[in-house]
Structure 1
Amino acid sequence: MNFKRAIFPILFFLTLNSLYCQTATIRGVILDERNIPVESATISTEEIATTSNKNGFYQLIIPAKKEIVIHFNHLSFKKIQLKINLQSAENFEFNPVLKTQIEQIGEVLVLSSEEKKIEGIQNINPETVRTIPGANAGVENILKSLPGVNSNNELSTQYAVRGGNYDENLVYVNEIEIYRPFLIRSGQQEGMSFINTDLIQNIDFSAGGFQAKYGDKLSSVLDITYKTPTQLTAAIDASFLGGSVYLGTSSKNTRFTTSSGIRYRNNSLFVNSKDTKTNYNPVFADAQTFMTYRFSGKFQLHFLGAISLNEYDYKPQSRQTTIGTFNIPTAISVNYNGKEQDSYKTVFGALKANYQLNQNTSLKFIASLYNTREKENYNISSQYQMGEINTNLGGLVGDYKDIGSQYEYANNNLDAQIFNFQHKGFFEKDSNTLEWGVKYTHERIKDYINEFEAVDTLIVDSLDSSNQWVIPDFNTIDAENKIKNNRVSGYTQWSRLTTIGSSKVWINAGVRAQFWNVSGDSIASKSHFIVSPRAQFSIKPAWKKDMLFRISGGLYQQPPFYREMRDSLDNVNPDVKAQKSYHFILGNEYSFKLWERPFKLISEVYYKYLDDVNPYNIENVRIRYQATNNATAYAYGLDLRLNGEFVPGTESWVSFGYLETKENRNERGYIPRPTDQRIKFAVLFQDYMPSIPNLKLYLNGVYNTGLPGGSPNYADPYEYQSRLPAYKRVDIGVTYVFMNSEGKVKNEERNNKFKEIEVGFEIFNIFDIQNSITNTWVNDYYTNSQFAIPNYMTGRVFNIKAGLRF
């Protein structure tokens, strides 16, 4: 009897053990993008399901030695699928990070994030970035359609925000700060942005009043997140402007993932559309990879690597430009001799470690190294001739006469190395969030500059070919700089998401500090210290109308980088202090229905007072600082953006911006700053044919009033003030998608390896408007007159493109 009583527990135990050996366990913690646990998420397979608890924890027992698809679902987040094949009795930890819910509207993805809205951060859909046409397509192309963001150079990825300049914008990729080359002076030399569109998963942008966790810059933050694929994906894009290849991989257990891309670009189409005839042979190429290895559910290691090569070979031959009045049109002819050869080689690598200490605390460690080696060599002479256009003879030009010349020479070399090591922490409990960070940066710069420019040279005898040009040294720079800069910076900030009555409220307060020391072979060592407090407050009233109000401000300071310490003669001044900007921003977001479709109006007014300003001039895209803190300035304006479904099933927007920014140098009075872009109007529009929904149209248009500029770079701005003409440009693209989202050819039901096949046609600058970026000044020795010859940007250009998605 006792034996029978004992045998049943033994058999029961053996049965359970047998079943256990045929199963495996997956467990973990589900988090959102802010590392906050997600409660009530559903974790399911075809046969079983469970939910996460209030701490985000879940556990699921699944069959072993069998490929299982696990679904992670929550109403507020995007669904995640995980393919996994575990061994018997294996315990696997998987801690997914759920992204904000994405709604499919036609072929356009509209990302809605309540937390981003409350924090005053604009989220941009990566699919919009990929489809909208632009001469320099990418993230910056879309940013330039936003109010408060301005650029008058379609060949450049540089942009100015609310009166700031190109050096005042922070750029991050997966929380790793990104740097740009130093010597580039022309947009057509840039090639490509660092950011690879194919790798992007998320885009956040703030035009001011941003949190203390972001770095020490005056104007804006662009925060990019690269993909971590869950399966094998690939893409190929090609056009007359170049091409790209993307590959995303994931191991079976998703522990190791990679996102990699190779790009090539050739700007010949654009350069050849200018009025200057050239021999142009550029090579712009780069390779990037973002890798993730999950050692466990608590520890992850990321690697971001990039290699970039820009080879710019430019040999101008001649150009003809029409100036003068309608009644007396005049042609300026320029003959060139010489060439330009530039090289920009950059290497970047970063390691980032994430450690989840517990359900409330996460720690991050980031180490990065950036190296750029840049060479700039040009030796170009220009001979200018002028002749009257005879309108009675069909526009033929009469006899030309020589009016002047220009000679430009440079042999510049720069080697810069920047090392960073950073720790960041995050703690969240009871709706309170505490974030902190400390960062060490070492900068080493070697810069050799030898350049000069001579203008308006005198012809000894234009009829005697044996005589040579007399080239006086008009502007000469010869310098050698070797400097080191050590920086220690840190921040701490607190935020709370709570309610006041029925209204949702978000509060944020933080402070940044930085200490830096500059030293060099020919300069005395100098140290500086700054502190920058910042705060934000948002409230979403419980009204019938969906309204959100924000107020933010604080002191934003920008310690000088090497270029800001280098004056117009390239001498380094270690006494340059951090520029200060006091921000005050008041914003509103109003979401509503129009024509039974969703729309949103974003409005912001802002005021910035700037002290210890370091004045500068902009020559194309090169900034030349005075390297003194001898000015004060201000900027104020209004930004408006209305976005929504102007056409059912698509997202488009209209932007308007008003800006005034002026500076006072040495108490001489206020004059417009170089980025005083008064009026900005932009349209980004998407459409499709209802009868042929796979045929899509994209339009990108912008109007900017003229910037101050066009005067000689050696002129005193208080004695010579001028503005360039207004910048007007419209780009249009038409795309036909042969594949639908299920990877099937239209009107066919067979499966295909391709997820999407598309071909497209683009017209850049469809109205062929001549926009100028600078002026070249010459004297007519016969009339003792000075002429401004506009340097025009690109004309109308046609492009064909094709893309494959696997």
Structure 2
Amino acid sequence: MKTKIALFFFFFSLFSQAQTARIKGIVFDENQQPVEGVNVTFQDKKTTTNENGFYALSIPANVKSNLKFSHVSLKAAVVTLQLKPNEDYEFNIVLKNTTEQLGEVVISNNRKKRVEGVTTISPKTVRLIPGANAGVENILKSLPGVNSNNELSTQYGVRGGNYDENLVYVNEIEVYRPFLIRSGQQEGLSFTNTDLVQSVDFSAGGFQAKYGDKLSSVLDITYRRPAKFGAALEASFLGGSFSLENASKDQKWTYITGVRYRDNRMLVKSQQTEIDFRPRFADIQTYITFTPNTRWQHSFLGNISQNKYDYKPLVRQTNFGTLNDPIALLVYYEGQEKDKYTTFFGAYKGIFEINENLVLKFITSAYHTQEQEYFDILGQYRLGEVNGNLGDENFGEVEFTRGIGSQLTHARNDLDALIYNAEVKGSYKKDKDQLDWGVKYTRENIRDRIREWEVIDSAGFSLNNPILDYPVNEQPYTSYTGPLAPYNSVRAINFTNIDRVSGYFQWNRRFMWGEHEVFTSMGIRGHQWQVSGDDISGKSQFTISPRAQFAIKPNWDKDMLFRLSGGWYHQPPFYRELRDKDGVVQPDVNAQQSIHVVLGNDYSFKMWERPFRLVSEAYYKYLTDVNPYTLDNVRIRYQAKNNAVAYAQGLDVRLNGEFIPGTESWLSFGYMKTEENIDNRGYIARPTDQRLKFGILFQDYMPNIPACKVYLNLVYNTGLPGGSPSYADAYDYQLRLRDYRRADVGFSYVFTDKIQAKDKNSWLNKFKDLSVGLEIFNMFNNQNAITNTWVRDVYTKSQYGVPNYLTSRVFSLKLNAKL
């Protein structure tokens, strides 16, 4: 019976292959010129037009489906066809421009971003690629120069910078994140809702003056304006999302609204700690536009989010050490943690086009966050030797105890912050020149109460804070007569106001240098700020940041472009950078400064008759007035001193293109070295010193079953510095964590999408897209560590760095539907 079935499918496939037709033609632009490099797709069949705009494609006969024409700088077009067997059909088409006019010069959006060194990411790729915390940030972590060793966090470092050094904009509106979050598993949701996204642009350095005052990177996201009704649903074991969009009949009003829910319980329970865990992360976000006439456009962006994090650890066992000396840490917990982060964000943006050359914009926004962090957790630990005999029935069990102790941690932290922005921007275009300018006022009002302490004892004897001038505790051998004090204690109340005024002016020009195209951009930013509050009176400070970009596209047969960009970048301190290790605000902290130079090459070429692009950038940063910090999970604690200098240098390379026809994939490599010199004591690795990075983002489909898709997200990073115990000297702790290796894979079966033709009577006709899939997170079950827990033993005077491991292998089902 099985043989008959196999023969049936064999002859059926032969018969199907014989039933083909051929379509051919020429693709023209609006000037009736043939267009080279147009992708022509029919189901899983694909070809590209040649230098004469000609294409030819063999397609299945008696099949009604869509023929799609797409090009990087022209509007895509779709036509529905059904050809007879052996029919030879000629079809010519004209594709319209999607370019923007700058006087007499026409530059496509895609080309303009290429000149500026901006990486553009497809929203479809963002939605499809799997990850424990899927979204825009998940894709960024596969790019060169972007590093993160925590799949539970949406935070990322860029070219040696920390999480606070990245700018994030949505529709030109700067967005913020909560202050008190200390671990990735508390974050829940990123601000960006991928269901609402139209475009994603990312710059890893050397960005223009029109962007704000940060040291590392810019993530610029644009939400889309829908043209008709639509709805989308996503559901998985980790949560779900729903979005709704529509437009009025006259297209003057549009709205798109998304609701999301996230539950990381399944991921966190895969760690080495047994817990009773109730995470509840939810938000609602909306983008509304009103266009009364061709000159005016009004828009509103709103977001409400709430993260509730209830955490009750029970038991933890972590095995570490070496094969010859295996060690285990067993901890039995009492107590719990209750955290709550509630944020409200609203922004208005008005655009007024005075004439075809002059455009003015007004943007105002308000961000309000209310956060509480309460916990009392007692951990009683046992540090012992593990049975490493593979043949023993007690293999893996602790047989000898080296030390015992306990740790009690307490916190009652509350924060209430209100941030208000008002900004005016303008843009003037004349012939080959473009002028951009803007002025912005920001008011930050922050009320913060910190109450946290930690008590540690070993074998029943309390350990004092090592930096206090108390007698050395030599118990149990000699009596201790000094006062008892917590090992770590932070108590402070801060009512802080920060007033900022910033502005920029930027000039862009494109011209011909002989037969070569040259693009220039020069600008300058200014930023003035002052810190005040209860018992706080800081000095007024001011910075000036000149920046420039230069790009040249030689008139060569090869499509190459060279870029040089950089300038003086300043980062005036935000509230967290003003708060020292004791929780006290230091109002006169200076802005950190970076002299940043980036040299890049962009090479577009064809391989296997498909488009590819190789982008490489070498960079160097020299930083002064550096504010040193420690990094514990995603919590950053600054010294609130400008007592260091630093540097970062490296090379980033990315190759992207259609390794598989019709899909975009890329390979990325990054080398980076960053060190700092604190108080002239010599250079040591910064907390973000991650030397090597490899990333692969790969999309594929099964040739015999094109509806079955495969998505792979693979990242390898060398280990970060492992950190140091509280109040320890960082110069004494320069060991590194193990390398970070992670592979997430997703399998999806597409029942229908907007490209496929559907039978009018089919139930699938109701859907634009419908797919189900299986996702495997951490497919190879690698044990990755994010930080160390430092365990002390009073008898042996030893201190152990016990790695805190991240998630193990997890399976999840996923459903996507779009109307």
Q: Which TM-score bucket, shorter chain as reference?
A: 0.7 to 0.9
Q: Give the match's secondary structure for 1:453.
A: strand
| Letter of the 2:803 counterpart | P
2:355 pairs with 1:342: no
Tell me the distance in 1 between the aligned counterparts of 2:763 and 2:344: 45
Q: Which residue of 2 aligns with 1:271?
A: 268
Query: Residues of 2 paired with 1:41 and 1:259: CA distance?
Result: 38
- Identify the residue that residue 418 of structure 1 maps to in structure 2: 419
How far 1:525 sits from its partner (Å)? 3.3
SS in 2 for 1:252: coil
Equivalent-residue separation in structure 2 for 1:686 and 1:725 (angstroms): 29
Pair 1:143–1:567, CA change in 2 (3 A):
same
Question: Among 612, 618, 630, which residue is 1:617 paired with?
Answer: 630
Does the aligned pair in 2 maintain the 1:305–1:349 contact within 8 Å? yes
Distance 1:354 1:386, change over 3 A: same
Deviation readout 1:735-763 (Å, 9 max, x if unpaired) = 01001325655898677111111001000
Say if 1:78 and 1:100, in contact at 8 Å, map to a contact too.
no
Q: What are the equivalent positions in structure 2 for 1:565-576 lying under 5 Å apart?
A: 565-576=578-589
CA–CA separation in structure 2 for the residues paired with 1:692 and 1:250: 37
Q: Quick one: which of 486, 490, 510 aligns to 2:499?
A: 486
1: CA distance between counterparts of 2:214 and 2:741? 29
User: Which residue identity does 1:591 align to in structure 2?
Assistant: S
What is the CA RMSD across the aligned residues, in angstroms?
2.3
- AA aligned to 1:519 is S
Give the 3 Å change call, closer, same or farther, for CA 452–289 of structure 1 in structure 2: same
1:5 maps to none
| 1:650 matches 2:673 | no
Give the distance between the partners of 1:444 and 1:563, measured in 2 at CA: 13
Q: Which runs of 5+ in 2 are unaligned?
A: 1-28, 34-69, 79-95, 101-107, 463-482
Question: Corresponding residue for 2:733?
Answer: 720
Counterpart for residue 296 of structure 1: 293
Aligned counterparts of 1:605 and 1:396: Cα–Cα separation in 2: 47
Distance 1:353 1:562 in 2: 29
Asked whether the 8 Å contact 1:191–1:310 carries over to 2, the reply is yes
Runs of 5+ in structure 1 lacking a partner?
1-37, 43-72, 82-96, 102-110, 462-469
Counterpart in the other structure of 1:150? 147
- Answer yes or no: is the 8 Å Cα contact 1:762–1:798 preserved in 2: yes
| Pairing 1:686-701 to 2, within 5 Å after superposition | 686-701=699-714
Structure-2 residue corresponding to 1:135? 132
In the aligned structure 2, how far is the partner of 1:691 from the partner of 1:288?
40
Find out whether 1:378 has 2:375 as its counterpart.
Answer: yes
Measured after TM superposition, the shift of residue 394 of structure 1 is: 4.5
2:488 to 468, 475, 498: 475
| Alignment match, 1:556 | 569
Q: CA deviation at 1:647?
A: 1.7
Instruction: Tell me what 2:393 maps to.
Output: 393
Residues 280, 400 of structure 1: CA spacing in aligned structure 2 closer, same or farther, 3 A cutoff?
A: farther
CA distance in 1 between counterparts of 2:596 and 2:457 reads: 45
TM-score (normalised: structure 2):
0.84
User: Alpha-carbon deviation of 1:388?
Assistant: 2.9
1:98 and 1:540 mapped to 2: Cα distance? 22
Paired amino acid for 2:712: L
Deviation string for 1:190-238 (max 9, x for gaps)?
Answer: 0010000000001111000000000000000000000100111110000
Structure 1 residue 780 displacement after superposition: 2.6
Deviation at 1:646, TM superposition (A): 1.4
Which of 222, 242, 248 is matched with 1:245 structurally?
A: 242
Q: What is the rounded CA distance, in whole Å, between the counterparts of 1:783 and 1:598 in structure 2?
A: 63
325-334 vs 480-489, which deviates more?
325-334
Partner amino acid, structure 2, of 1:311: K
Q: Which position in structure 2 is the counterpart of 1:168? A: 165
CA contact (8 A) 1:614 1:626 kept: yes
Shift of 1:719: 2.2
2:511 corresponds in structure 1 to: 498
Q: In the alignment, which residue of structure 1 is the partner of 2:678?
A: 665
What CA distance in whole angstroms lies between the structure 1 residues aligned with 2:109 and 2:163? 29
Task: Quickly say closer, same or farther: Cα 1:80–1:566, change in 2 above 3 A.
Answer: farther
Query: Is 1:557–1:578's contact at 8 Å kept on the other side of the alignment?
Result: yes
Which residue number corresponds to residue 19 of structure 1?
A: none
* 1:396 to 1:132, Cα distance in 2 relative to 1, 3 A: closer
The equivalent of 2:89 in structure 1 is: none
SS state at 1:217 partner:
coil
5 Å-filtered alignment, 1:63-74, equals none
- State the secondary structure of the residue aligned to 2:137: helix
**Percent identity between the two aligned chains:** 58
Measured after TM superposition, the shift of residue 393 of structure 1 is 2.4
CA–CA distance in structure 1, aligned partners of residues 720 and 307 of structure 2: 29
Superposed, which structure 2 residues align to 1:314-353 within 5 Å? 314-353=311-350
Provide the C-alpha distance between the structure 2 equivalents of 1:368 and 1:514, rounded to a whole number of angstroms: 19
Deviation at 1:330, TM superposition (A): 2.6
Which residue does 2:812 correspond to in 1?
Answer: 799
- Distance, in Å, in 2 between the alignment partners of 1:658 and 1:309 is 38
In structure 2, do the counterparts of structure 1 residues 150 and 99 end up closer, same or farther at CA, with 3 Å as the change threshold? farther
For the 8 Å contact 2:550–2:565, the answer to whether it is kept is yes
How many angstroms apart in 2 are the aligned matches of 1:649 and 1:76?
Answer: 17
Q: What code does the residue aligned with 1:166 have?
A: Y
Q: Which amino acid aligns with 2:349?
A: K
Query: CA offset at residue 312 of structure 1?
Result: 0.3
Deviation at 1:387, TM superposition (A): 3.2
**Any idea what the Cα deviations from partners look like across 1:500-540, whole Å, max 9, x if unmatched?**
12212110000000111110102123210111000000011
Question: Match for 1:520 among 528, 533, 536?
Answer: 533
- Give, in whole Å, the separation in 2 of the partners of 1:268 and 1:398: 28
Q: Secondary structure at 1:573's aligned position in 2? A: coil
Q: Distance between the aligned counterparts of 2:98 and 2:456, measured in 1?
A: 58
The yes-or-no answer on 1:357 pairing with 2:349 is no
- Which consecutive aligned stretches of 4+ in structure 1 deviate over 4 angstroms post-superposition? 38-42, 97-101, 742-751
SS in 1 for 2:267: helix
Using a 3 Å threshold, how does the CA distance of structure 1 residues 147 and 199 change in structure 2: closer, same or farther? same
Kept in 2, the 8 Å contact 1:407–1:471? The answer is: no
Residues 1:368 and 2:381 are matched in the alignment: no
Shift of 1:332: 1.8
1:414 & 1:99 partners in 2: Cα distance? 47
CA distance in 1, matches of 2:609, 2:569: 42
User: Do the aligned partners of 1:740 and 1:746 also contact (CA within 8 Å) in 2?
Assistant: no
Matched with 2:432 is 431
Out of 682, 697, 716, which is 2:695 matched to?
682
Contact 1:405 1:778 (8 Å CA) reproduced? no
Q: Distance in 2 between matches of 1:153 and 1:487?
A: 33
The one-letter code matched in structure 1 to 2:380 is: Q
| Aligned counterpart, 2:195 | 198
How far apart, in 2, do the equivalents of 1:475 and 1:100 lie?
Answer: 60
Cα deviation digits, residues 305-334 of structure 1 (max 9, x gap): 000000000000001111232133232211
Matched AA of 2:443:
H
Other structure's SS at 1:282 match: strand
- For 1:688, give the aligned amino acid: Y
Q: Secondary structure, in 3 states, of the residue corresponding to 1:526?
A: coil
Task: Tell me, yes or no, if the aligned pair for 2:623 and 2:645 is still in contact at 8 Å.
Answer: yes
Residue aligned with 2:766, SS? coil
Aligned twin of 1:57: none
Matched-pair contact (CA < 8 Å) for 1:711–1:722: no
Aligned counterparts of 2:770 and 2:697: Cα–Cα separation in 1 = 24
The change in CA–CA distance for 1:746 and 1:752 in structure 2 (over 3 A counts) is: closer
Contact 2:581–2:639 under 8 Å retained in 1: yes
Deviations 1:463-500 (A, max 9, x none): xxxxxxx9951110110000111111000000012221
8 Å CA contact 2:744, 2:777 repeated in 1: yes
Aligned residue pairs total: 707
Deviates more, 1:132-141 or 1:522-531: 522-531
2:801 aligns with one of 788, 797, 801: 788
| C-alpha separation in 2, matches of 1:694 and 1:398 | 51
Whole-angstrom CA distance in 2 between matches of 1:727 and 1:75: 35
Determine if the alignment matches structure 1 residue 762 to structure 2 residue 775: yes
Which amino acid in the other structure matches residue 773 of structure 2? G
Query: Which one-letter code corresponds to 1:309 in the other structure?
Result: Q
| Deviation for aligned residue 1:727 | 0.6
Deviations 1:410-455 (A, max 9, x none): 1000000000000000000101000000000011000000001123
CA contact (8 A) 1:319 1:335 kept: yes
Residue 787 of structure 1: CA displacement? 1.7
